[in-house]
Chains A and B, each alone.
Chain A
Amino acid sequence: MDFQPVLTSHVRQPQSYTLDFYLQHLRGYEGLRKALTLKPNDVIEQVKASGLRGRGGAGFPTGMKWQFVQKDTPKPKYIACNADESEPGTFKDHVLMERNPHLLIEGCAIGCYAIGAKVAYIYIRGEFYHVQQVLEDEIEKAYKAGYLGKNIFGSGFDCDVYLHRGAGAYEAGEETALIESLEGKRAQPRLKPPFPAVAGLYQCPTAVNNVETLCNVPPIILNGPEWFAKQGPEKNGGPKLYCISGHVKRPGVYEASMHTTLRELIYGEQYGQGMLNGKKFKAIIPGGSSVPLLLDEHLDTPASFDAVAKAGSLLGSAGLIVLDESVCMVWLAMNLLHFYRHESCGKCTPCREGGDWLYKLLQRIERGEGRPKDIDLLFGVANNILGKTLCAFGDAAATPVLTTLKLFRHEFEAHVREGRCTLPSEWRAKTPVLAHH
């Protein structure tokens, strides 16, 4: 299969983030120029025909999302670009914004044109300050060159792109919480419906799109929807960025088609290059920390939205965390629950209280003080969070516990029985983990 990278083809070259480079080598802003000759509805139709699916985690078709944005209203419309990349194991948008910022700016402008918006806000997480500086400079250059601002290419279309810096909240990655945060409130999700397409930012119709999703739009307009759909299996078209981290020799962001299997991504020469320190593979988290684990027998699954879902997990944000044989699954669940307990916004009781409860139970088992009934209790508490919260965060918090219990229950039982971890885990602290709170 001859797959040519589209989004990250030039990111390793010096100066790849500059406007000049973008214009010279990447047909910069030609997609926007072409889009402005089409009717907004035709732009949406093209994106729909390409089958582009949201890259943020849910895999919802982008064209549909744009079509749902209410057009027959006097209210202004908005694009909110979700650059609050906080899912553990995900770092693809970081590369795009840092090394190819104009692609995102162009994608925002085309998105605005398609849904009839005049303003796009890029909500960037507070920790990405160095990325923000690059984006700020490049947005200013795009304004000066006339690719943003008033009357772009003499078409009468006005578009402004603004950066909005977050301040450290995982929950702001949820689309309605992101909108709340943009409005200057706590990043807590809203009850849906109404969906953002009807009442989003300032109660106006809003499309919330991930960075990678918007970056895929200019190539679709330039090369046509058929070209895009051909870059991968049916309904999973287009280039995809995979973030590989954990126990692999060469962690990093790799662009591939969704035909690529998980095994290729871990062991392939041009990807992860195999396990670190010659250890044996144990499991993989295929889509950021919120999705179920997959085992060796699943590795020949293509890393596409549909195939990974069929194998019993989710592609999510395509953050692959590779785990070797030395990883204790009780510790893994505890580490992730520390994250979810800390990041829970506190709005829904099951997630706020349940996350804390799960973490404390896991801590007790990890310390070797677990009781036999604690394992069933974990299962019960997790199941009472699942599906009982306003946003998907509750499911995300319950999943690490449920998936480790399902696949590695014997490790939990061994902890309880032996009163200690039975795995040789020399990579971890020799001394006990610092007591938290």
Chain B
Amino acid sequence: MSFHPHMEYAPAKFHKSERQLADAGEAFAYTPENQAKFDVNVTHYPPEQRKSAILYALYLAQQQQGYLTGAAMRHVATQIGCSPADVEDVVSYYTMFYTKPVGKYVLNVCRTLSCALLGAERVTEEMAKTLGIQPGQTDPTGTFTLMEVECLGACDRAPVVMVNDDWHERLAPEQVKDFIEQIKARGAKAFTGCHLHVEK
């Protein structure tokens, strides 16, 4: 008899025959500026170790297009000189790469202990209620994507929300509605930013 609790082992489409490769999407190539940035970054590593630049290359592609399509991954593979499978291997591991379109503002609510002690669960709930979406989803207008993430490293300013590359600190559950309205009205100016970053 097994003591293993009843649980789903893996998503239904687990078998490789059912696994779907990333959608190729539109043709993709770096803009000349991004190509120049990549060419500089790759010199930081020994010439035979171009693969080290893969995270940087993927960030560039993601910034250019918003998310990573199959075509973008293939472009990165040719830039690096590795196989497309190698690129997909990396993309599927790291949480900050998106393989599906995301909203203009990606709300990453920290859910780990220090933030949770000060109400992060309720922040997520309020956001889900206000936006009418569940974590992991994007609202129909394509403005907001709600995500729950693990520790962001600002536990003294809990609860913390990372919006794209910006931070918003000490967001009480009661302030969530107003916060969303503020983003709609003022865009990136609605964020407090990192409290250590006051001078910029």
Which A residues have a C-beta under 8 Å from some C-beta of B?
Answer: 11, 14-15, 76, 85-91, 94-95, 98-99, 121, 125-131, 134, 160, 162, 164-170, 181-187, 202, 243-247, 251-253, 285, 289, 319, 321, 323, 327, 332, 335-336, 338-339, 342-343, 345, 356-357, 360-361, 364, 373, 377, 427-429, 431, 433-434
Which B residues have a C-beta under 8 Å from some C-beta of A?
Answer: 3-5, 7, 44, 46, 49, 51-56, 58-59, 80, 82, 89-90, 93-97, 111-114, 116-119, 121-122, 124-125, 128, 134-135, 149-158, 162, 165-167, 193-194, 196-199
Other than the given A90-B153, A98-B197, A251-B156, 5 more pairs (CB < 8 A) read A127-B162, A183-B52, A327-B117, A335-B111, A373-B3
How far does the Cβ of A265 sit from chain B's closest Cβ, in whole Å?
A: 13
Residues of B near A183 (CB, < 8 A) are: 49, 51-52
Of A98, A323, A356, A429, which one neighbours B122 at CB under 8 angstroms? A429
Q: List 6 A-B contacts (CB under 8 A).
A: A14-B199, A76-B46, A94-B153, A165-B55, A251-B155, A427-B119
Residues of A near B53 (CB, < 8 A) are: 184
Residues of B near A129 (CB, < 8 A) are: 165
| B89 nearest in chain A by CB position | A186
Residues of A near B150 (CB, < 8 A) are: 86, 88, 170, 339, 342-343
Residues of A near B128 (CB, < 8 A) are: 434
Among A15, A89, A245, A342, max chain B CB count under 10 A is at: A245
How far does the Cβ of A309 sit from chain B's closest Cβ, in whole Å?
A: 22
How far does the Cβ of B7 sit from chain A's closest Cβ, in whole Å?
A: 5
B151 touches A245 (CB 8 A): no
Residues of B near A247 (CB, < 8 A) are: 117
B5 touches A360 (CB 8 A): yes
Residues of B near A245 (CB, < 8 A) are: 114, 155-156, 158
| A84 nearest in chain B by CB position | B153
A87 touches B151 (CB 8 A): yes
B3 touches A377 (CB 8 A): yes
B55 touches A167 (CB 8 A): yes
Residues of A near B165 (CB, < 8 A) are: 129-130
A335 touches B197 (CB 8 A): no
CA distance A252 to B156 in the complex (A): 5
CA distance A168 to B90 in the complex (A): 12
B153 touches A85 (CB 8 A): yes
Residues of A near B158 (CB, < 8 A) are: 245, 251
B93 touches A186 (CB 8 A): yes
| B59 nearest in chain A by CB position | A165
Of B58, B96, B124, B151, which one neighbours A339 at CB under 8 angstroms? B151
How far does the Cβ of A92 sit from chain B's closest Cβ, in whole Å?
A: 9
B94 touches A335 (CB 8 A): no
A434 touches B116 (CB 8 A): no
- A88 and B193 in contact (CB under 8 A), knowing A170-B150, A185-B90, A251-B156? no
How far does the Cβ of A163 sit from chain B's closest Cβ, in whole Å?
A: 8
Residues of B near A169 (CB, < 8 A) are: 93-95
A95 touches B196 (CB 8 A): yes
Sorted nearest first, the 9 A-B pairs with minimum C-beta distance are A184-B51, A245-B155, A167-B94, A168-B95, A251-B156, A168-B96, A129-B165, A184-B54, A245-B114
A361 touches B113 (CB 8 A): no
Residues of A near B153 (CB, < 8 A) are: 85-86, 90-91, 94, 125, 127-128
B135 touches A127 (CB 8 A): no
| B57 nearest in chain A by CB position | A184
CA distance A431 to B129 in the complex (A): 12
CA distance A228 to B157 in the complex (A): 31
Of A15, A166, A342, A427, which one neighbours B199 at CB under 8 angstroms? A15
Among B4, B156, B165, B193, max chain A CB count under 10 A is at: B156
Residues of A near B121 (CB, < 8 A) are: 428-429, 433-434
How far does the Cβ of B44 sit from chain A's closest Cβ, in whole Å?
A: 4
How far does the Cβ of A343 sit from chain B's closest Cβ, in whole Å?
A: 6
Of A95, A99, A181, A338, which one neighbours B111 at CB under 8 angstroms? A338
How far does the Cβ of A414 sit from chain B's closest Cβ, in whole Å?
A: 20
How far does the Cβ of B178 sit from chain A's closest Cβ, in whole Å?
A: 19
How far does the Cβ of B68 sit from chain A's closest Cβ, in whole Å?
A: 11
CA distance A131 to B152 in the complex (A): 13
| A98 nearest in chain B by CB position | B196
Residues of A near B94 (CB, < 8 A) are: 126, 166-169, 187
B114 touches A89 (CB 8 A): yes
B155 touches A361 (CB 8 A): no
Residues of A near B54 (CB, < 8 A) are: 184
CA distance A339 to B148 in the complex (A): 11
How far does the Cβ of B71 sit from chain A's closest Cβ, in whole Å?
A: 20
CA distance A86 to B113 in the complex (A): 12
How far does the Cβ of B193 sit from chain A's closest Cβ, in whole Å?
A: 7
Residues of A near B112 (CB, < 8 A) are: 88, 289, 335-336, 339
Residues of B near A357 (CB, < 8 A) are: 4-5, 7
A336 touches B156 (CB 8 A): no
- A167 and B156 in contact (CB under 8 A), knowing A184-B80, A428-B121? no
CA distance A361 to B5 in the complex (A): 8
| A132 nearest in chain B by CB position | B165
A162 touches B44 (CB 8 A): yes
